[in-house]
């Protein structure tokens, strides 16, 4: 599902008469918001789509399912710790998982460029199979198209997913209220930095690997515990900053973030500094923002820490009743600065 533009639907959109698509239209920020609202939602409007949640919730008899889709155009196709196949499974599984759903089935659509190396297809299919097995989900249907040389981009993948929403589970950004606590499930910014390290022309060498992982292995523990979790979202394009902006826009309350509490490895911190990037805006592919009532925050944190995917989790922020609604970062240096939704994307083709 569209990420990082979630509740911005409630903002007044100023129509900008762009005539051409620019890279920022895909970046998860303000420009993407414009594209989605002015050119897509305005045509396809319906209550399911308009909610812009991670997955649409559909009733099937007495059951509820979640349905989601994600296109993957990451470049390069293979990078430290993963490839486009791992990403394509994790991205869609995670959109189901953060709704509290149990992933049931995936579809896989491949668009392959003429001249593409079959050995790479083989490696990526193996990666898809391994990641799907780890997540406990099958690829049940697929499609393959071939596009002429120099018209395609090697390989793009679109996965869609169906998950079963357990009875009683109803996470919703609008349930968040003042006093709620925001947990981040682990070290920040690793997917984006892994892509940068793999991309030619960037001058730093690092051992940072993608964090891409199927989050249902963590969220099933959280959902099963019966705690007062309000909302979850995986911060991909536009990073943690984007998800915090979604929250602030949806509920019109402020969020106070403590920089020193945000889990980050020294390697990632230094790499981001070297590149002049804010780790808060860098994509993650195996991490989760969890908003929980204050009363249950320590319990949720303890469940996270027991799980390999949440072992570095930390309480990073709280929701406060301050107007105007802003995201305020208490910096390591003792200062305060505002966090805003990125305009476009600091690095394109991240997922």
The CA R_g of the chain, rounded to the nearest whole Å, is: 19
| Site for its own copies, residues 119 to 148, rule: CB under 8 A | 119, 121-122, 125-126, 128-129, 132, 138-148
Rounded Cα gap, residues 253 and 248, in angstroms: 6
Instruction: Report if residue 172 touches its own copies, rule: CB under 8 A.
Output: no
- Give min distance, CB of 189 to its own copies, in A: 20
Instruction: Report if residue 27 touches its own copies, rule: CB under 8 A.
Output: yes
Q: Which of 326, 315, 321, 261 is nearest to 292 (CA)?
A: 315
Instruction: Report if residue 61 touches its own copies, rule: CB under 8 A.
Output: yes
Instruction: Report if residue 60 touches its own copies, rule: CB under 8 A.
Output: yes
Instruction: Report if residue 12 touches its own copies, rule: CB under 8 A.
Output: no
Helix 118-135 vs helix 216-224: crossing angle, to nearest 10: 10
Q: Which of 341, 324, 176, 173 is nearest to 254 (CA)?
A: 324
SS3 state at 64:
strand
Cβ distance to its own copies smaller for residue 133 or 322:
133
Instruction: Report if residue 21 touches its own copies, rule: CB under 8 A.
Output: yes
The site that binds its own copies (CB under 8 A) totals a number of residues, namely 82
Rounded Cα gap, residues 297 and 294, in angstroms: 5
Please state, in angstroms and as integers, the Cα–Cα distance from residue 330 to each residue in 2, 246, 316, following that order: 29, 19, 11
The strand pairing partners of 59, in sequence order, are 64
Instruction: Report if residue 14 touches its own copies, rule: CB under 8 A.
Output: no
Instruction: Report if residue 153 touches its own copies, rule: CB under 8 A.
Output: yes
Instruction: Report if residue 167 touches its own copies, rule: CB under 8 A.
Output: no
- Give min distance, CB of 180 to its own copies, in A: 26
Rounded Cα gap, residues 254 and 308, in angstroms: 31
- Give min distance, CB of 156 to its own copies, in A: 6
Instruction: Report if residue 35 touches its own copies, rule: CB under 8 A.
Output: yes
The span of 70-78, 183-191, 290-298, 324-332 binding its own copies (CB under 8 A) equals 70-78
| Site for its own copies, residues 105 to 124, rule: CB under 8 A | 105, 107-119, 121-122
- Full DSSP string of 325-344: --EEEE-TTS-EEEE---SS
The span of 154-162, 215-223, 245-253, 317-325 binding its own copies (CB under 8 A) equals 154-162
Instruction: Report if residue 196 touches its own copies, rule: CB under 8 A.
Output: no
Helix 190-198 vs helix 266-275: crossing angle, to nearest 10: 60
């Amino acid at each position: 599902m569209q990420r990082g533009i979630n509740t911005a639907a409630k903002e007044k959109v100023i129509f900008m008469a762009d005539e051409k698509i620019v890279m920022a239209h895909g970046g998860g920020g303000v420009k993407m918001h414009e594209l989605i609202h002015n050119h897509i939602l305005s045509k396809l409007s319906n209550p399911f789509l308009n909610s812009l949640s991670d997955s649409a919730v559909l009733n099937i008899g007495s059951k509820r399912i979640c349905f989601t889709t994600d296109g993957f155009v990451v470049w390069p196709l293979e990078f430290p710790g993963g490839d486009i196949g791992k990403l394509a499974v994790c991205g869609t599984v995670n959109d189901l998982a953060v709704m509290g759903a149990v992933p049931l089935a995936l579809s896989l659509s491949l668009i392959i460029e003429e001249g593409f190396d079959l050995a790479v297809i083989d490696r990526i299919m193996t990666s898809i199979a391994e990641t799907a097995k780890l997540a406990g989900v099958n690829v049940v249907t697929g499609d393959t198209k071939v596009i002429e040389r120099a018209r395609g981009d090697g390989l793009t993948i679109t996965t869609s997913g169906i998950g079963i929403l357990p009875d009683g589970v109803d996470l919703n950004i609008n349930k968040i209220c003042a006093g709620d606590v925001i947990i981040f499930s682990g070290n920040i910014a690793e997917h984006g930095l892994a892509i940068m390290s793999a991309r030619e022309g960037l001058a730093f060498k690092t051992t940072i690997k993608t964090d891409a992982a199927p989050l249902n292995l963590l969220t099933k523990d959280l959902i099963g515990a019966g705690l007062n979790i309000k909302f979850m979202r995986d911060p991909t394009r536009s990073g943690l900053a984007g998800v915090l902006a979604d929250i602030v826009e949806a509920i019109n309350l402020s969020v106070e973030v403590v920089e020193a509490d945000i889990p980050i490895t020294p390697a990632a911190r230094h790499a981001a500094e070297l590149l002049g990037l804010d780790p808060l805006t860098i994509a993650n592919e195996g991490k989760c923002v969890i908003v929980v009532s204050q009363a249950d925050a320590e319990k949720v944190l303890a469940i996270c820490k027991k799980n390999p995917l949440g072992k570095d989790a930390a309480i990073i922020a709280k929701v406060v009743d301050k107007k105007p609604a802003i995201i305020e970062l208490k910096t390591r240096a003792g200062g305060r600065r505002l966090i805003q939704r990125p305009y476009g994307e600091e690095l394109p083709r991240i997922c």
